[in-house]
Structure 1
């Protein structure tokens, strides 16, 4: 967070941005990432803004060059990340990709109407993008479509809000050209977002762990409350009514068989382990018996040696006693 970056007035670019065009089966919301680029670039010309805005694959920037790119800009564009269509079965993706391959010039609107229909927008996922934290850390002004951004930033406190119809373009440009006002927003974003412990990996892991624990407790309580409830996944499907949705059908047809197979494999491994433990016990018993046999054999060998030695010694003594004196 202590990286040296150029001062606002020293940055050569007024506005920069990079994005790629998401496929149509992501839904209308995902299109904002590249629509903001096209619209802003067209509007910027009349304000003589110095921009580097591109959505082509050949313009992608990575690694340290990306950091330098953001740090060379007074401001960057941005939107929330997410999608507005959930392809639970994967069928939409296959159909859309096949159709687009056969009709390369077709518009996203036509594709969405043909294949997504009313399902586009029923479930909308909106989350903050890592670029928000990059811009805040590099002290670059953010010009964003207004949104929740996972609660990380607020309009006018941490970023300049841009209307989706770009009707307030003149207001946005006035902030870019007002270093004092721009710097106040940049400084708040740096201190309240980039330096905030709320957005560290440590805090993310803590939140993730809490969600897992809470969900596990919820499922366990539901299992205990429903007699005969055997499987957490089956319970989640039945209690939430997911079997009535495409997601529920997908889980039932594709996930549950895999889950059940894993349970069977687990039981098989448990049985194999039990057999291995039994074999190990038998082997240990056999080894113990072998050790006892070896000890018995050793004892017999000692006795035989002692008997032979004693016999020879007594024989020698007997011969000496029975022999004439002097011999």
Structure 2
């Protein structure tokens, strides 16, 4: 069977490795014959869609037309082609908190058969309530554990030079308080940490690290900070993003706490809170996780797979005592590796095995 993967494969040096790993996993592990079309200019003019049994629209291209996404927007001419295609149509989607109603309308227009959402299934059903009942919603993760079997042997913690490593950026206020966590955990840590620790923490864009450089830095660190991924605003109409952007344009120094109450009243009413691929990358590098409280998709167990740092830093002194115990820190990293990475259930190979099984079942119904 032939499968077309329509995506935007980014340059290795300029994007998070997880996007590249996710796209590459289809050709690497799928039982199907995969043809990958990576294009920001749309599908090739002479590509015969009817020659494929399945078309997969990857999350690296989008149905949104905002300026931020315009480079990876699916052209209308290709949307018309996809609508006419009668085979199995599958879509992976991320950034599910923006202009949800518009996205639902476009998915309905395309007649997508299966939608892979990163939101927990009970949340996804609320987000995509406008979808046709003919579209099946399935849950997936934002990314999976990287394969670093070909990498050099991992250093023991006593040989690692960095005590605490982390990178983040300041996200827009319309992501809600959950979006602020990624930035605030870094800022608060930098204010409070004792200078005897060797930290490599930054929220500046020019300090961001990608690809193999990211994994190498993780592998040279004893611990790394982290938070859940997602947003605590689900913006169905686009009004939340628009109204907050307007407020910020007149109040450029405003923080989330400065926003008028009518703009923040929907915060945490409906959330996407999931485990990030960065978590799996850290565990694969046997780097101990120091995380804000969260569910982490039900995968991680506090004090077994990670150390919890309260959002108000009320347990920071206690955490510092644990960080001084290199044996205890390494034990947590080793346990997480053995229980999360070694069994393979969160690998890209397992992800594609599940994907292939789903495709076979859905094709049988066609």
Structure 1 unmatched runs, 5+: 221-327
**Structure (1 or 2) with the greater strand fraction:** 2
CA RMSD after TM alignment:
2.6
Structure 2 unaligned spans of 5+: 1-147
**Contact 1:24–1:111 (Cα < 8 Å) also in 2:** no
Aligned-pair CA distance for 1:104: 1.3
Q: Secondary structure at the match of 1:166?
A: coil
Deviation digits for residues 160-192 of structure 1, max 9, x if unmatched? 111121111122222221121111111111111
Which residue of structure 1 aligns with residue 8 of structure 2? none
Structure 2 equivalent of residue 37 of structure 1: 186
**Partner in structure 1 of residue 196 of structure 2:** 48
Q: 1:123 aligns with which of 254, 270, 295?
A: 270
SS across alignment from 2:313: coil
For CA contacts below 8 A with separation 6 or more, give which structure has more relative contact order: 2
Tell me, in whole angstroms, the C-alpha distance in 2 between the residues paired with 1:157 and 1:147: 14
Tell me if the contact between 2:182 and 2:226 (Cα under 8 Å) persists in the aligned partners: yes
Are 1:24 and 1:112, in contact at CA under 8 Å, matched by a contact in 2? no
Number of aligned residues: 216
Query: Which string of whole-angstrom CA distances, capped at 9 and with x for unpartnered residues, describes residues 40-98 of structure 1?
Result: 111113x6321111111111111221112111211100011111111111122122223
Equivalent residue runs for 1:106-117 within 5 Å: 106-111=254-259, 113-115=261-263, 117=264
Aligned equivalents of 2:220, 2:231: Cα separation in 1? 30
Q: Which has the larger radius of gyration?
A: 1
Task: Please give the TM-score of this superposition, normalised by the length of structure 1.
Answer: 0.60
Distance apart, 1:103 and its partner CA: 2.0
TM-score, normalising length: structure 2: 0.54
The runs of at least 4 aligned residues of structure 1 exceeding 3 Å deviation read: 202-215
Structure-2 change in CA distance of 1:84 and 1:211 (3 Å): farther
- Greater helix content: 1
**Is the CA contact 1:80–1:147 (under 8 Å) kept in the aligned structure 2?**
yes
